[in-house]
Chain A
Amino acid sequence: MSETVEKIEIACLVNGEWRSARVYPLARLLDVIRGEMRLTGTKEGCGEGECGACALLMNGAIVNSCLVPAAEADGAEIHTIEGVASGDQLSAVQSAFLECGGAQCGICTPGMVIAAAALLARHPHPGDAEIREGLAGNLCRCTGYQKIFTSVVRACESGREKSPGNR
């Protein structure tokens, strides 16, 4: 039972800042980020690795944080949606989503923005198939994906993905 398991202390570099939390080792990274660290931009859609709403970057790789045990994130460098814009300056992906209608209800958007930025880091000029493939792990029920594809194309046209959150 949960009471008998000891909590552990973990520390991660979150959006450039060291943060620590006392958590159960098997707590989901998603809950730690949203709960203990109060970064609620990362969302939960399914809790089983299917929807990508909980996507964030861990040590440079995109992960579904609902599948990552907190203990595994100890010492990791993490980028969440909160770190993507610098102040009021939106990233190219965020601006493109705003301009092109890539966000409707917005619940998939943080994960989508992270996935799109990760895609552009791998393929600075992705073709249609690469965009579809690159975003296939992120479900959106509102947009039918068309405006998200347009947003990605617009973002790479404007081509200024520089901030660390967008690698």
Chain B
Amino acid sequence: MEEKYIGHSVERKEGREKVTGRARYVDDLAFPDMVHGVTVRSSVARGRILGIRYGDGIPWNEFTIVTAKDIPGANEIALILHDQPCLASEFINHPEEPVVLLAHPDKYLLEEARRAVRIDVEAMPAVFTIEDSLAKGTIVWGEDNVLKAYHVDKGDVDSAWAAADVIVEGEYRTGAQEQLYIENQGMIAVANPTDGVTVWGSLQCPYYVHKALMPLFGLPAEKIRVIQAETGGGFGGKEEYPSMIAAHAALLAWKSGKRVKIVYDRAEDMVATTKRHPSRTRHRTGVTRDGKLVAMDIDLAIDGGAYATLSAVVLSRATIHSAGPYVCPNVRIRSQAVATNAPPHGAFRGFGAPQSVFAIERHLDQVARAVNLTPEELRRRNFLRKDQTTATGQIIHEDVNFSGLLDRAFKESDYHAKRARFEKENPGATVKRGIGFSSFMHGAGFTGSGEVYLASVVEVEATAEGCVRVLAASTEIGQGANTIFSQIAADALGISYDRIDVAQPDTGAVPNSGPTVASRTSMVVGNLVEKAALNLKNTLVESGLLCDACTEDEFVRACKRYIETRGTLRARAKYEPPPGLHWDDTTYSGDAYGTYAWAVYVAEVAVDTVTYEARVSDFVAVQEIGKVIHPVLAAGQIEGGVAQAIGMSLYENVVWREGRMANGQMTNYIMPTAADIPPIRVFFEEQPYPFGPHGAKGIGELPMDGPAPAILNAIENATGISLREIPATPEVLMEAMAEKAGALV
């Protein structure tokens, strides 16, 4: 197949709409009969609801008021488990729990009304940390606070310690992180018993919302319709929470008979919606004197918040990535997601992997020091290679060349020369400079048998004019899905890119191609787009209207003839797993992912010993991601992910007070600005993956994994201070430096 568009940076499909301000996001949509909705939340972390009071001075008869009693079906937000209510009716399990919904045409009055509602709660003991949850003094979820646990066992760790010359232990922590897409979440709903429920919104996964609305209203699939509006960023934050807002807007619409819009303001979005799971990882690693890993014992815990939501899946990815891209004959991983009385933590780019990659990549620098090897030499002696096995026992069939990636990253970053120079210049300097790196992998697509269960479907349809539309539920959220799908379809059909368009995701019109998550859209869904397009062409060939090697004009004529004589010209493709993949959910072993992206990232930092500020001054990202479909979009994914990860490493600090985010504003929760981000230099190695479209692998999440440990390794190189937690804010650095100075006295 000729690659006329694949591999080239064609114009982004919806780019013009975006640069001219014409793209319509949910808050840009307005309808004449529309009213606004707001959510009244609990303010205590845990307790029993005694009553709801509606204060004086508000014309309550003008308002639509919804409580749990008004829910026509089941009071739940269906996801994996059914533990999270749509509106709390009796018990409160976190401080942002929704209890009452209000709707009114006047936004200003609505805000006053929200403040006039009092929810009386009898407080109950609550749990706010991983440690308290694990101590099980207070049980806040299920029988033991454990939302999910996994065991991974490879070899025999207990008998392997004897073979180790050195054992290195360490504990590592990562904080919560807010996705901070610049478009706040929002939904518009119309709902009534005759027509059912329709919602428009800012979301990643139309069929997740669809699945949640069915039991809530007790309606069949065809009575629920979910349509994605242009979406201003997601990063996982619009994976599961949109179901909640859609449910709320739809309940208000159902009761009021009006179209209802709920759009969160920044503060509500920050405090109430999901964030990255905080984590704590303990490593105990046995290594020989010559730097061979002989045993890895990993104990990992993440804070899931008040309900199960996606924690089981986040934990799964964290678990599988926790031993890194290294070969070790004996590995034991014990992992748990535990409940606390914070709003549920959820999907955020990387999905558990950034937490566990941070731990292993910080830890290996400590291991290297313990055996007197450089960080790179220790890794080189243990890198996973072809035909070797990962912690889950997956045999790697690709020709992974980590040493090559490392060489390239060191060359591009001038690693060795800089390390030598900083060592010379740092003594006596107030601004200390350092350089560090991390090597890591990211599994693309759903874990284990996930893709088989999803059984995604894509369709394509041609018009009599010879234009082709891709029908999929995969959403454009800034990553470029529309563009990539169009490139793939155009090349498969041998027609021009301008002839392709991608349908707006609408559960009433597109098949379920699965959620837009897990770096699966280009690799898994893109492959289905290609197959569906080839099937469409095949239909024309088999009907005798087209020869295999056709021109664009011939294709256009064939479409016209086909539609005139036989009707609709549509084709589909359904997911089939690559041959030979085996995964065992009970032992948590086997082929965790169809493939991985592999990477080495190098960070250079400058640490000011007077202000205690650390800055990233240069960044090199080298990765092997199969075929690069669109160089500009691909680099944009890496750069954007690295910037978010720099935020996670140094700036973005969620301050918790009794389960509630205390700094829910952009003024005090600090994400990087144009002035904070260094040059990010991105390099791709391409080794085509046979089961991705033209060899492409997933890349969206990869760049979130590597920067944090690289940056903290660089800080250690600069200052000699080995930080074990992120974010490494000035407060953390100040304390660590004071401690080090104290220890020296």
Q: How far apart are the CA atoms of A99 and B12 in the complex, in Å?
A: 8
Residue A40 at the chain B interface, CB threshold 8 Å: yes
Residue A98 contacts which of B12, B635, B639, B675 (CB distance < 8 angstroms)?
A: B12
Q: A128: shortest Cβ distance to chain B, in Å? A: 9
Question: Interface residue count for A (Cβ, 8 Å)?
Answer: 59
Interface string of B1-38 (1 = CB under 8 A from A): 00000000101101111111111110110100000000
Cβ contact within 8 Å between B233 and A136 = no
Q: Which residues of B contact A143 (CB under 8 A)?
A: 636, 639-640, 643
Residue B182 contacts which of A48, A105, A145 (CB distance < 8 angstroms)?
A: A105
Q: B87: shortest Cβ distance to chain A, in Å? A: 26
Nearest CB in chain A to that of B25: its residue:
A107
Residue B453 at the chain A interface, CB threshold 8 Å: no
Q: Which residues of B contact A74 (CB under 8 A)?
A: none
Q: B175: shortest Cβ distance to chain A, in Å? A: 18
Residue A148 at the chain B interface, CB threshold 8 Å: yes
Cβ contact within 8 Å between A105 and B183 = yes
Q: A46-B666, A48-B665, A147-B636 are in contact. Are A1 and B112 (CB under 8 A)?
A: yes
Q: How far apart are the CA atoms of A138 and B12 in the complex, in Å?
A: 22
Binds A, one of B379-387, B473-481, B516-524, B654-662: B473-481
Residue A141 contacts which of B15, B25, B640 (CB distance < 8 angstroms)?
A: B640
Question: Interface residue count for B (Cβ, 8 Å)?
Answer: 61
Q: How far apart are the CA atoms of A110 and B22 in the complex, in Å?
A: 9
Residue A146 at the chain B interface, CB threshold 8 Å: yes
Q: How far apart are the CA atoms of A46 and B670 in the complex, in Å?
A: 13
Q: Which residues of B contact A141 (CB under 8 A)?
A: 179-182, 233, 235, 640, 644, 671
Cβ contact within 8 Å between A104 and B640 = yes
Name the residue in A38, A50, A80 with the highest tally of chain B Cβ atoms < 10 Å from its Cβ: A50
Cβ contact within 8 Å between B20 and A146 = no
Q: How far apart are the CA atoms of A58 and B462 in the complex, in Å?
A: 47
Q: How far apart are the CA atoms of A147 and B480 in the complex, in Å?
A: 14
Cβ contact within 8 Å between B18 and A103 = yes
Cβ contact within 8 Å between B636 and A43 = no
Q: How far apart are the CA atoms of A101 and B235 in the complex, in Å?
A: 18
Cβ contact within 8 Å between B641 and A48 = no
Instruction: Describe A's contact surface by its main secondary structure.
Output: loop
Question: Number of A-B pairs whose CB atoms are under 8 Å?
Answer: 177
Cβ contact within 8 Å between A144 and B640 = yes
Name the residue in B16, B106, B181, B674 with the highest tally of chain A Cβ atoms < 10 Å from its Cβ: B674
Interface set, chain A 74-109, CB cutoff 8 A to B: 80-82, 84-85, 90, 94, 97-109
Nearest CB in chain A to that of B108: its residue:
A2
Q: How far apart are the CA atoms of A98 and B359 in the complex, in Å?
A: 39
Q: How far apart are the CA atoms of A49 and B382 in the complex, in Å?
A: 50
Name the residue in B19, B22, B108, B235 with the highest tally of chain A Cβ atoms < 10 Å from its Cβ: B19
Residue A48 contacts which of B17, B478, B667 (CB distance < 8 angstroms)?
A: B667
Residue A105 contacts which of B232, B641, B679 (CB distance < 8 angstroms)?
A: B232
Residue A51 at the chain B interface, CB threshold 8 Å: yes
Cβ contact within 8 Å between A106 and B28 = no
Residue B123 at the chain A interface, CB threshold 8 Å: no
Q: Which residues of B contact A43 (CB under 8 A)?
A: 25, 182-183, 232
Residue B230 at the chain A interface, CB threshold 8 Å: yes
Q: Which residues of A contact B639 (CB under 8 A)?
A: 143-147
Cβ contact within 8 Å between B183 and A45 = yes
Residue B666 contacts which of A51, A106, A142, A145 (CB distance < 8 angstroms)?
A: A51
Name the residue in A35, A102, A140 with the highest tally of chain B Cβ atoms < 10 Å from its Cβ: A140
Q: A118: shortest Cβ distance to chain B, in Å? A: 14
Cβ contact within 8 Å between B477 and A105 = yes
Residue B109 at the chain A interface, CB threshold 8 Å: yes
Q: How far apart are the CA atoms of A27 and B478 in the complex, in Å?
A: 31
Name the residue in B24, B182, B265, B667 with the highest tally of chain A Cβ atoms < 10 Å from its Cβ: B182
Q: How far apart are the CA atoms of A90 and B21 in the complex, in Å?
A: 12
Q: How far apart are the CA atoms of A113 and B15 in the complex, in Å?
A: 13
Nearest CB in chain B to that of A26: its residue:
B108
Q: A28: shortest Cβ distance to chain B, in Å? A: 11
Q: How far apart are the CA atoms of A82 and B21 in the complex, in Å?
A: 6
Residue A94 contacts which of B19, B24, B181, B184 (CB distance < 8 angstroms)?
A: B19
Q: Which residues of A contact B364 (CB under 8 A)?
A: none
Cβ contact within 8 Å between B633 and A101 = yes
Residue A131 at the chain B interface, CB threshold 8 Å: yes
Q: Which residues of B contact A2 (CB under 8 A)?
A: 106, 108-109, 112
Q: Which residues of A contact B633 (CB under 8 A)?
A: 101
Residue B724 at the chain A interface, CB threshold 8 Å: no
Residue A133 contacts which of B182, B644, B675 (CB distance < 8 angstroms)?
A: B675
Residue B586 at the chain A interface, CB threshold 8 Å: no
Residue A120 at the chain B interface, CB threshold 8 Å: no
Residue B673 at the chain A interface, CB threshold 8 Å: yes
Q: A43-B25, A141-B671, A143-B636 are in contact. Are A105 and B233 (CB under 8 A)?
A: yes
Residue A42 at the chain B interface, CB threshold 8 Å: yes
Cβ contact within 8 Å between B641 and A144 = yes
Q: Which residues of B contact A110 (CB under 8 A)?
A: 21
**Can you report 18 A-B residue pairs in the complex whose CB atoms are below 8 A from each other?**
A34-B28, A40-B24, A40-B28, A41-B20, A41-B21, A46-B666, A48-B266, A84-B21, A85-B20, A97-B15, A101-B635, A101-B636, A105-B231, A105-B232, A106-B230, A144-B641, A146-B677, A147-B635
Binding site for A on B (CB under 8 A): 9, 11-12, 14-25, 27-28, 30, 57, 106, 108-109, 112, 179-184, 230-235, 265-266, 477-480, 632-633, 635-636, 639-644, 665-667, 671, 673-675, 677, 679-680
Give 12 A-B pairs besides A1-B57, A47-B265 with Cβ atoms closer than 8 angstroms.
A1-B109, A3-B109, A38-B30, A46-B665, A48-B667, A101-B636, A104-B478, A105-B183, A105-B233, A106-B18, A110-B21, A133-B675
Nearest 4 CB-CB pairings of A with B? A41-B21, A105-B478, A107-B232, A106-B18
